[in-house]
Amino acid sequence: MKNILILADGPVARHFLQWVNETRIADNQYHVACYKGGVLPEKMSQAITMCHTDPTSFSKLLHIMTETKFSMVFVIMNEKHDAIHALKNVRHADDKIHIVLLDRWDEEFDENYNVTVISENQILASHLYDHLPNVPVIAQNIGLGEGEIMEILVPIGSSYAFRHVGSIAQRKWKIVAIYRHKRQIIPNNASMIRPNDTLLVIGQPKVLDGIYKSINMRQGLFPEPFGKNLYLLLDFKRDRKNALRYFNESVYLMSRLKNKKLFIKIINPSDFKLMDDLKSQENETISVHIDYDDQPTETWIKSDIQRFDIGLILSSMQTFEKLELRNKLFDLKKLIYLFGDCELKKIQECIIVMTEKEEMESISSTAFDLLESLDIKLHLSNFDPEGNFESKKMVIEHYESLSGIMNREIVIEQEMLNPVRKLRSLSNILQIAPIKKESKHKTFLNYLSMRWEDYLLEIPKLPKVLVPVEV
């Protein structure tokens, strides 16, 4: 049992005692010394003992502290001179006891001698500051209190809205809880972040400052939150013929984005003139890195992505498949751009063929962010050979809602036809699609699948942006 002495006077002391009375912390016994009315709760619990005495009187205070051994003392007084006298009396009666003092006057108190001073004005100012827009709320009485625990509201239009937690690269930070409609959600990889959710995040304070800014910025940060910069992968065994075209497309895409850099990785180098041509293009935003050692993919790709803060990897279809990058990049939670027959700068439209609701919601934020960056029109297409259009009604409503918020035009298409055949008939259009982790053990049944997305990579002529989803 811990005995705690509270020297009380004024409205703050009254509210404090009300909290003490209602919470009833086990193994705490409270002794309250006051000489004015209106401080104690109307109905006191057995844990509170009242002493009608003047806390500023040393003899009376000494009598109380002699009868009972206290573990700590709270000094919560309404008047400055009363608080100063009470503090001196307590320290004179026991020079080692821990004291918590409420400072309402910005007084210079010595905190070095077992005294914790709580500034009322600083606390009020801090709480008022927390209510300003665009200000992160940090935990001040938990952990180090330096901002390593933060609460972040997800605004409408955030690049984090409608993303699955598992699709967000969380390096040196982590989403530990989501609060929605006054309910706590402990997230897993498939949990979706929605507008007006509040995220509880932990991590390094400097990292969380950047995450806060990223979450609160409107669309237009593509490829964030998957990462910041672009990474062009050129395998000279397969890409040498089209390397300059891939480079020009990558530079064009970078030019449409905000404050991004392009990192070029060359593996299996064999054409020194071509490498010199690419090296000659280096500047503050473009850098070329050549792997002469023929290292395994796993050795350099993860290191490069983390070192250069990569969010989007650009690759040819052949290199993507030969290096078996699907699962490697999926595990790293990165966007993938696969080059097609048409150059990106000539494309004016993109297409999303509807799949499951959760997948469509997960990629929607990325899709609209890319639409804004490239200033192209979206075709949201429901191609169903059986004409089962009703099942995608909620997907259409979701995209129409985002279309209004982002002020981007979309075209809704619903046709009874085979989606794979339709996509093969298209040209000069960018495809945006979800991509999931591929089974490591393929069987011949994979090639009998009725899901069109299982044939996603069988249509190489369309350039593609693949968004990792976990549902």
Distances (CA, A) of 271 to 239, 242, 250, 293: 11, 13, 20, 15
- Name all domains of the chain by residue range, CATH numbers in brackets: 2-125 (3.40.50.720), 133-216 (3.30.70.1450), 229-338 (3.40.50), 344-468 (3.40.50.620)
Share of the chain above pLDDT 90, in %: 31
- 326 and 161 Cβ atoms separated by less than 8 Å: no
Lowest mean pLDDT among 190-194, 293-297, 364-368: 293-297
| Bridging pattern class, strands 137-138 and 149-153 | antiparallel
pLDDT of 217 > 80? The answer is: no
Statement: residue 263 has pLDDT above 50: yes
Predicted confidence (pLDDT) per residue in 225-243, tens digit: 888 899 999 999 999 999 9
Residue 139 pLDDT grade (very low, low, confident, very high; cuts 50, 70, 90): confident
Q: Which of 88, 90, 85 is nearest to 6 (CA)?
A: 90
pLDDT at 305 over 80: yes
* Closest C-alpha among 229, 265, 273, 268 to residue 247: 265
pLDDT band at 445 (very low <50, low <70, confident <90, very high): very low
Q: Does the pLDDT of residue 455 top 70, yes or no?
A: no
In the predicted structure, residue 115 carries a pLDDT above the cut 70? yes
Q: What is the amino acid identity at position 261?
A: K
Selected residue with higher pLDDT from 327 and 443: 327
pLDDT of residue 116: 85
Residue 338's pLDDT is what? 95
Predicted pLDDT of residue 163: 81
* String of DSSP letters for 425-440: H--S-EEEEEE-PPPS
Q: How high is the pLDDT of residue 266?
A: 94
Which backbone phi and psi does 188 adopt, to 5 degrees?
A: -120, -175
Q: Residue 314: its pLDDT value, please? A: 96
61's enclosing H/E stretch is: helix 58-67
Q: What is the mean pLDDT of the chain?
A: 85
Pairing of strands 262-267, 192-193: unpaired
Q: Among 182-186, 187-191, 420-424, 442-446, which stretch is predicted with the lowest mean pLDDT?
A: 442-446
User: Cα angle vertex 255, ends 280, 245, to 5°?
Assistant: 55
Q: Tokens at residue 414, please? A: 């619903």
When pLDDT is cut at 50, 70 and 90, the band that residue 405 belongs to is low
- 369 or 454: whose pLDDT is higher? 369
Distances (CA, A) of 433 to 20, 168, 366, 468: 56, 17, 10, 9
pLDDT (0 to 100) of residue 112: 57
